[in-house]
Amino acid sequence: MATSTATVAVTSTAVGTDSKRSGWRLQHYLACIGVVFLVWETWTIVAWLADGPEQITALRDPGSVSWYAARVFEALAIILAIAVGTSVVKGCRRAGELTFDALFVIAAALTYWQDPMMNFLSPIFMYNVNWTNLSDWTGHIPFWINPDAGRMPEPVLAIGLFYTFGILFFVRIINLAMAAARRRRPDLSTTQLVIGGMLLMAVLDMALEIPPIALHLWSYPGLPNAVSIFGYSSAKLPLPEVVAFGLVIGGFAAVRFAKNDRGETILERGAHSTMPERRRRAVTLLALVGLMNAGILLLNGGLAFFGLYATKYKPLPASVLNGMCGAGTRYGACPGDPGYRMPLRGSLPGPKPYQN
């Protein structure tokens, strides 16, 4: 009888453990968020493609410094994509399955659609038309506020490759630094490592952005001068962007860095005995899509908020401003101009800009 009771107790414990393992975890909730973002993204991109996006070329200035600089940065983006992509493929071959880094790259590619979302309320961020570009898809995003969306030339080659492979590149750098710090100082807590990683990403973001901004490859004219580096010039870098980028990308690095004794991240743990391998990888991918899209959305939403306090734009090359705002444009006065009133969706007459 005692043996029977013990067996029942052990069985009950095992069942309870399996029940806990088969319950919903963080990755399942994030996966649901990921599905929502995928539906939102699919609607946007399908509508954009159906409308026939075109390359914007009217204000290009071939032979200028920014023209040649764009070619250099596009070449660097291609080299980065080849290097990171090759290492990810090799990792998958060694593992015999899609690795976490492979899922990370796929999820990162599925966040690229949010790149122009900083202009959700008003045109506060701009790309130079000298990039290899297409008219952006913001005019097709449901719930979009800016009534003149779709006029910005989106650098689909360079920035698309950066989102897909560049985010992982920087996350790896941060993880290497975190690992080195832990070897050197084993007493450092995980919180300290994560904060250090975020600070490092903020520094890397400044190093990444200052040269293109100085070359007028992109610009943040609609962010307040008071919270920007070089705030009273046309080459300002807003500190909220630096801080947000450090927090978001540093957060992604923390997720990749923190692993259990089986080498699993927090998005890969649990449900091992009840869920097939392919389904577990699918849940992890959707969780990454949800996490990364939510992070990028918070970044862009914060910057859009700061855009409500824009100061008067400094003079910009026509290849940067590209008729997105200003005297004589469909949008009207730029944010920060005297008497500026933010137009809302549906308030402007005439054809939509992405039909030009």
Whether 22 shows a pLDDT value over 60: the answer reads no
How many angstroms separate the CA atoms of 267 and 259, rounded?
10
Please report the pLDDT score of residue 274 as a whole number: 61
Asked if residue 145 has pLDDT above 70, the reply is yes
Number of H helices, E strands in the chain: 10, 6
Calculate what percentage of the chain has a pLDDT beyond 70: 90
| 355 compared with 61, residue with greater pLDDT | 61
Comparing CA positions, the residue from 285, 303, 322 lying closest to residue 331 is 322
Residue 14 domain-assigned (yes or no): no
- Strands in the chain per DSSP E: 126-127, 134-135, 153-154, 218-219, 228-229, 237-238
- Asked if 325 and 331 count as a contact pair (C-beta separation under 8 A), the reply is yes
**266 token code pair:** 């927090």
Tell me, yes or no, whether 3 lies in a domain. Answer: no
Q: Is there a domain that residue 1 lies in? A: no
Residue 264: exposed, middle, or buried by beta-carbon count in 10 A (0-12, 13-18, 19+)?
middle
Does residue 6 belong to any structural domain of this protein?
A: no
Residue 57 lies in a domain: yes
- Domain boundaries, position 212: 25-355
Q: Please indicate, yes or no, if residue 226 is contained in any of the structural domains.
A: yes
- For the chain, the distance separating the N- and C-terminal CA atoms, rounded to the nearest angstrom, is 84
DSSP 8-state class, residue 216: T
> What share of the chain has pLDDT > 90, as a percent?
76
Residue 345 lies in a domain: yes
What is this structure's pTM? 0.89
pLDDT at residue 4 tops 50? no
Q: Rounded to the nearest 5°, which phi and psi values hold at 189?
A: -80, 165
Does 94 fall in a domain? yes
**Mean pLDDT of the 15-33 span:** 70
Q: How far apart are CA 249 and CA 245, in angstroms?
A: 6
The number of folded domains in the chain is: 1
155: CB partners within 8 A, 6+ apart: 70, 74, 127, 131, 132, 133
Mean pLDDT, the chain, integer: 89
Rounded (10°) angle between helices 239-257 and 277-306: 170
CB 152 within 8 A of CB 138: yes
DSSP one-letter string for 285-305: HHHHHHHHHHHHHHHHHHHHH
268: confidence class by pLDDT, cuts 50, 70, 90: confident
